[in-house]
Amino acid sequence: MSSNKQLVFGAVADDLTGGSELASMLVARGIRTRFTIGTATDSGADFDAHVIALKTRVVSADEAISQVLQAAETLLGRGVRQIFFKYCATFDSTADGNIGPCAEALMDRLGARYALFCPAFCETERTVYQGHMFGGPQLLAESPKRNDPLTPMTDSNLVRVLQRQSRRKAGLVNYKAVDAGAGAIRAACETLADQDISLVLVDTLHERHLASIAEAGVDMPLLTGNSSIAAHLPPIWLRNGLICATHSGTLPGVMGPGAVLVGSVAEQTLLQLEWFARTYPFITVDLERAFAGDDVVGEAIDFARKAICDNVPFAISTAQPHGSVERLQSRYGRYEAAAKAEDLLSRVATTITLELGVRRLVVAGGETSGAVISALGISEMTVGPYQGPGMARAVTSLPARLALMLKSGKLGKLDVFQTVLDEMQRDLAYTPASEWPPLKK
């Protein structure tokens, strides 16, 4: 295949778990998708799509913009026809960014008159109505996200959240226009743009709305949102002749010791960890003792070594109850506490994989995943097909083969850790999904 092949789609994700989920959705649709980590990479020739995962959600806005634009230049160097800026379905961000500032920087670079913002993930009941985000029946600000240790979401009105972060005016394409289809969405965007409103949030309540939004935005230079909208693009590409065919494939299974590393304090992850610990050994690394200088990493490594000798999977966590997290943040600082947890799990990860031979690894938490992958020096993965929210499997080399799943803290069934560690041992063959979400067999 010619090295000059144009990329149909290039994505920049603000964390690894979201980036790997996006790549897995494209793979499930039969799209040849490259998945890389960090900005220092070129774009391979034998792909239709390239997803670049960063760790920019809670860094300074200036640093986030710099990394996002650098990643975008990699994609533009391959003549990419559309860039997608991927962020969390719950619009995770700080008061200052980084969703708005990064999107605006991309708009400037691409000369985009306006950009759509579609964070909804209908499969998990994360929807937007009248500009307000819901998780099932709960408003975002009344959900567990209000207690997130790094990006507490205390305002459910995403137009308002986006406006606080941005220079441009933010507005809404409401449910009525979205429900009328792609033409009505495009017309509403043009009307808003005529009013100097260029950051355009879209109401989204159903999967068919995501399909209509994808149809409306397929030719825009910039799209932004959660991965779920991108899953509706491949059929449009095929219909419009932007790709010639979709492709089947196989993600190889990997044998060897299995481990789970948990940095997320999301309620769902804590429940998943509790479920796992009913059957398998589990240890919590005490952050308070770590700040005091105790060798908690050494203790965790000794624990891991015993579990490996006993031939059982194990879990190591830095997750603390909400009250403990608040105390740590008050004493040491919000970002300092998070950085300490990431550092501890990164050191554990390098030892258990490079020295103790762990070959199947699940990491829970977007920020934790980024820290662990960086510590392991991993810059590229082969991603398998989407199997459900929070279930993106991948394989990479250390140089020994390593099976990975980078799991969002909020997603996955209770038994996800056991299930994935077991499934990692088997090849995963797939054919392109014709329905979305994929029908469960």
d(CA 21, CA 51): 10
Alpha helices in 166-206 (DSSP H): 175-179, 182-194
Sign of CA dihedral 396, 417, 122, 157: negative
Please give the pLDDT value at position 323: 61
Please give the pLDDT value at position 177: 98
Distances (CA, A) of 281 to 266, 276, 356: 21, 8, 17
CATH topology of domain 9-247: Rossmann fold (3.40.50)
d(CA 395, CA 413): 22
Please give the pLDDT value at position 3: 43
Please give the pLDDT value at position 219: 97
Name the segment(s) of the chain with CATH classification 3.40.50.10840. Answer: 9-247
Cα 329 from chain centre: 25
Assigned token pair, 185: 């969405």
Residue 95 near residue 164 (C-beta atoms within 8 A): yes
Check if CATH label 3.40.50.2300 holds for domain 252-430.
no
State pTM to two decimals: 0.91
Please give the pLDDT value at position 1: 34
pLDDT tens string, the chain, 441 residues long: the values are 334 578 999 999 999 889 999 999 999 999 999 999 998 666 566 899 999 999 899 899 999 999 999 999 999 999 999 999 999 999 999 888 899 999 999 999 999 999 999 999 999 999 999 999 999 999 999 998 888 777 889 999 999 999 999 999 999 999 999 999 999 999 999 999 999 999 999 999 999 999 999 999 999 999 999 999 999 999 999 999 999 999 999 999 999 999 999 987 777 888 999 999 999 999 999 888 888 899 999 999 999 999 999 999 999 998 876 667 778 878 888 778 888 888 999 999 999 999 999 999 999 887 888 889 999 999 999 999 998 887 789 999 887 899 999 887 777 888 899 999 999 999 999 999 999 998 654
Please give the pLDDT value at position 367: 81
Assigned token pair, 32: 């040849």
d(CA 347, CA 112): 42
Sign of CA dihedral 204, 207, 213, 217: positive
Radius of gyration of the chain (CA): 21
Assigned token pair, 246: 């979709």
Please give the pLDDT value at position 10: 97
Name the segment(s) of the chain with CATH classification 3.40.980.20. Answer: 252-430
Please give the pLDDT value at position 2: 36
d(CA 338, CA 53): 20
